[in-house]
């Protein structure tokens, strides 16, 4: 046994030969002592703990956005009280899905921005359009280093003129804007339901706040029914243009579910007969 | 000495290097762009749909930009690279104004874009780029680029997802390829002439409605930017949303 404090517990190399790091595929072994250097430098190649869909819809006086409170580790529900919609400054809310460690890193970046912005004691300058631009650049730069932040982000809020901003940014640095947005599974399950209500800016004028909230709640129900990595508790963010307010309600529960025998169910998300 | 390796199907599948699953920094966001030069104008048009795979991200995400100096710029392909290219170009244009205090000619803009694209030769911007403007004689001009900066001045060019559908139509309708003078009974080629702005806009609209029918990544809306000596103006026409 080698009694050098740095090598405690290691068999002596003189007696047993060099430690073979290939044992148990110990690829992330301390590289300074490792003779095995052929392994490539590792970046995030897959997300670990993840958050599922974020959905958002525009209505005649604002935006409604929702994301559930779960962080899953594969099929394990690792976190059940995780708020994934965060307010940034006074004019924006950001909903983030994907890797949770990257989400927390982004949270810190946005926090730094907020602190930087508040030094001059002026009114809030951190507008939603600046934020979405900033996040797009961060995401694009990380993808260009082949070390992406594994997230899809929805930014909602107001620009400098108080107009609505709704933008989607993903891990490749691709950004786009649309009156209905969703990430992850929501893109397949919620978008068709949301676009049924709002497919263009003209439709936005016809949708009331109450209807928008109801639509989003229905979508969260469908997502809870069908997305195995979703949860029945979510945060609901309501943005109102006329009052320039952004409210995030936590612990909203999915309501009116039916878990009857399938024979009696006529479809999910639609009123039951 | 050669190793005796059995030449079965399965033997071909055996690999000694580890299988690596790498992050793919690119995606294809569909869409199509089209530029046509006229005698005293140039147009650059693009559909407004943005896709990834079978999903429609947005029905209105403009990708043709008027960047100043009577210059139109559009990059089509991977949207992340496309926006980056446009942003870097706008910045380079701003610095050109600071340094030289004069308008950037379209030919110079084309050379600049070549260097911007070739500068990333080994990690390319995955885009087909087209710029439109007016030359020193006031004639319309179009420059088109491949992803690594090879470029050419042309009368017309389609780029992006439905380029292969639109380009042959343009060859026939703009450059009168395979057209004969009807009076000559198939002995003389039809003389090329400049098209009028109205003809060009009608041609662009036809090209995009046809491409929308046949290509799933094209549709929703058509935005045509027109550059003349008076400046840039925009026209929008809806396309099928299916």
pLDDT score recorded for residue A272: 60
Partner A contacted by B103 (CB < 8 A): no
pLDDT in tens, A210-254: 999 999 999 999 999 999 999 999 999 999 999 999 999 999 999
Q: With contacts defined as CB-CB under 8 Å, which chain B residues touch A25? A: none
Please tell me which residue of chain A has the smallest CA distance to B22.
A45
Give the CATH number of domain A57-253; options: 3.40.50.620, 3.60.20.10, 3.40.50.10540, 3.40.50.2000.
Answer: 3.60.20.10
Place of tokens 């936590």: A250
Taking an 8 Å cut-off on Cβ atoms, the answer to whether B52 and A174 are in contact is: yes
Please give the pLDDT value at position A241: 97
Domain residues of chain A, as ranges? 57-253
What letter does residue B30 receive in the DSSP assignment? Answer: -
Lowest mean pLDDT among A2-16, A155-169, A198-212: A2-16
Compute CA distances B79 → A54, A143, A257, B144, whole Å.
21, 13, 40, 17
pLDDT over 70, % of chain A: 84
Q: Are A222 and A232 in contact (CB under 8 A)?
A: no
Q: Which residues of B touch A136 (CB under 8 A)?
A: 83
Closest approach of A131 to chain B, Cα-based (Å): 16
pLDDT at A29: 46
Q: What is the model's pLDDT at position A16? A: 80
Q: Which helix (H) or strand (E) holds B82?
A: helix B79-100
Q: pTM of the full predicted structure?
A: 0.86
With H, G, I as helix, E, B as strand and everything else as coil, classify residue B188.
coil
Low-confidence ranges of chain B (pLDDT < 70): 1-21
- Residue whose C-alpha is closest to residue B35's, from B217, B210, B225: B225
* Residue A236 Cα to chain centre, angstroms: 14
| A173 CB within 8 Å of a chain B CB | yes
Least confident of A24-33, A60-69, A208-217, B27-36: A24-33
Closest CA to B76 of B111, B133, B34: B34
Q: What's the mean pLDDT in A61-87? A: 96
Nearest to A57 by CA among A175, A159, A206, A185: A206
Q: Average per-residue pLDDT in chain A?
A: 88
What pLDDT does A34 receive?
Answer: 47
Q: How many CB atoms lie within 10 A of CB B55?
A: 11
Share of chain A above pLDDT 90, in %: 72
Residue A263 pLDDT > 60: yes
Q: How far is A12 from chain B (nearest CA, A)?
A: 31
Q: Do B23 and A175 touch (CB under 8 A)?
A: no
Instruction: Average the pLDDT over A44-66 and give the result.
Output: 93
CB-based contact (8 Å) between B178 and chain A? no
A44 belongs to the catalytic site = yes
Task: Provide the number of CB pairs (under 8 Å) joining chain A to chain B.
Answer: 57
| CB-CB under 8 Å, A199 with B59 | yes
Domain B32-237 has CATH 3.60.20.10: yes
Residue B159 pairs in a beta bridge with B33
pLDDT at residue B141, rounded to an integer: 97
How far apart, in Å, do the first and last CA atoms of chain B sit?
62
C-beta atoms of A174 and B27 within 8 A = yes
User: SS3 for B182?
Assistant: helix
CA dihedral B208, B209, B210, B211 (to 10 degrees): 50
Distance CA B171, CA B163 (A): 12
Tell how far CA B153 is from the center of its chain: 13
Query: Quick one: pLDDT at residue A15?
Result: 81
Q: For residue B61, what are the contacts with CB-CB under 8 A and spacing of at least 6?
A: A176, A177, A178, B48, B49, B50, B79
Residue A22 CA, distance from chain mean position: 36
Inter-chain CB proximity A168 and B57 less than 8 Å: yes
* ipTM score of complex: 0.89
Cβ of B78 and A45 within 8 Å? no
Mean pLDDT of A127-131: 97
Whether residue A133 is predicted with pLDDT greater than 90 in this model: the reply is yes
Does the beta carbon of B83 lie under 8 angstroms from any beta carbon of chain A?
yes
CB A45 to CB B23 under 8 A? yes
A22 touches chain B (CB under 8 A): no
Strand B55-58 versus strand A62-68 pairing type = unpaired
Mean pLDDT of A241-270: 85
- The alpha carbon of residue B210 is apart from the nearest alpha carbon of chain A, in Å, by 23
Give the count of beta carbons closer than 10 Å to the beta carbon of residue B152.
Answer: 11
Indicate the residue of B27, B60, B123 with minimum beta-carbon distance to A172.
Answer: B27
| Backbone torsions φ then ψ of A111, nearest 5 degrees | -65, -45
Nearest to A144 among B25, B27, B55 (CB): B25
**Touching check for A36 and chain B: CB below 8 Å?**
no
Mutate to test the interface with B, among A57, A144, A172 (most CBs of B within 10 A): A172
CA A198/CA A193 separation, integer angstroms: 9
Q: How is residue A179 written in tokens?
A: 């009156």
Select the residue of B23, B78, B84 nearest A146 (Cβ to Cβ). B23
């Amino acid at each position: 046994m080698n009694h050098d404090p740095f090598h405690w517990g290691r068999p002596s190399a003189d007696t047993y030969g060099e430690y073979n790091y290939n044992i148990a595929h110990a690829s992330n072994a301390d590289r300074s002592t490792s003779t095995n250097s052929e392994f490539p430098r590792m970046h995030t190649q897959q997300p670990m703990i993840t958050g599922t869909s974020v959905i958002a819809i525009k209505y005649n006086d604002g935006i409604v956005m929702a994301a559930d409170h779960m962080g899953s580790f594969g099929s394990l529900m690792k976190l059940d009280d995780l708020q994934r919609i965060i307010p940034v400054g006074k004019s924006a809310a950001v909903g983030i899905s994907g890797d949770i460690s990257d989400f927390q890193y982004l949270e810190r970046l946005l926090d730094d921005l907020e602190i930087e912005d508040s030094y001059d004691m002026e009114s809030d300058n951190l507008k939603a359009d600046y934020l979405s631009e900033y996040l797009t650049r961060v995401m694009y730069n990380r993808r260009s280093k082949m070390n992406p932040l594994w997230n899809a982000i929805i930014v909602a809020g107001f620009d400098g003129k108080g107009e609505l901003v709704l933008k989607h940014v993903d891990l490749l640095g691709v950004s786009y804007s649309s009156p209905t947005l969703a990430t992850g599974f929501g893109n397949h399950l919620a978008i068709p339901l949301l676009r049924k209500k709002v497919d263009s800016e003209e439709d936005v004028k016809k949708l009331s706040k109450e209807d928008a909230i109801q639509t989003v709640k229905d979508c969260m129900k469908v997502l809870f029914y069908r997305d195995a990595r979703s949860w029945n508790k979510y945060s609901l963010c309501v943005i109102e243009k006329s009052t320039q307010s952004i409210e995030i309600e936590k612990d909203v529960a999915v309501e009116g579910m039916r878990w009857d025998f399938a024979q009696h169910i006529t479809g999910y998300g639609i009123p039951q007969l | 000495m050669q190793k005796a390796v059995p030449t079965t199907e399965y033997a071909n599948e055996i690999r000694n290097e580890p299988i690596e699953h790498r992050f793919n920094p690119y995606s294809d966001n569909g869409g199509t762009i089209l530029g046509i030069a006229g005698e005293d104008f140039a147009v650059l048009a693009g559909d407004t749909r943005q896709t990834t795979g079978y999903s429609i991200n947005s029905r209105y995400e403009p990708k043709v930009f008027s960047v100043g100096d009577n210059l139109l710029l559009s990059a089509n392909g991977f949207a992340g690279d496309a926006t980056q290219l446009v942003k870097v170009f706008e910045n380079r244009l701003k610095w050109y104004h600071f340094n030289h205090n004069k308008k950037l000619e379209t030919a110079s803009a084309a050379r600049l874009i070549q260097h911007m694209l070739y500068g990333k030769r080994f990690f390319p911007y995955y885009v087909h780029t087209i710029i439109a403007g007016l030359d020193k004689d006031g004639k319309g001009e179009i420059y088109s680029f491949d992803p690594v900066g090879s470029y050419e001045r042309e009368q017309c060019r389609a780029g992006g997802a439905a380029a292969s559908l639109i380009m042959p139509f343009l060859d026939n309708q703009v450059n009168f390829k395979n057209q004969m003078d009807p009076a000559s009974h198939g002995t003389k080629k039809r003389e090329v002439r400049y098209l009028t702005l109205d003809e060009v806009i009608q041609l662009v609209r036809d090209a995009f409605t046809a491409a929308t029918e046949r290509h799933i990544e094209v549709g929703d809306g058509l935005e045509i930017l027109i550059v003349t000596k008076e400046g840039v103006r925009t026209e929008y026409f809806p396309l099928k949303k299916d």
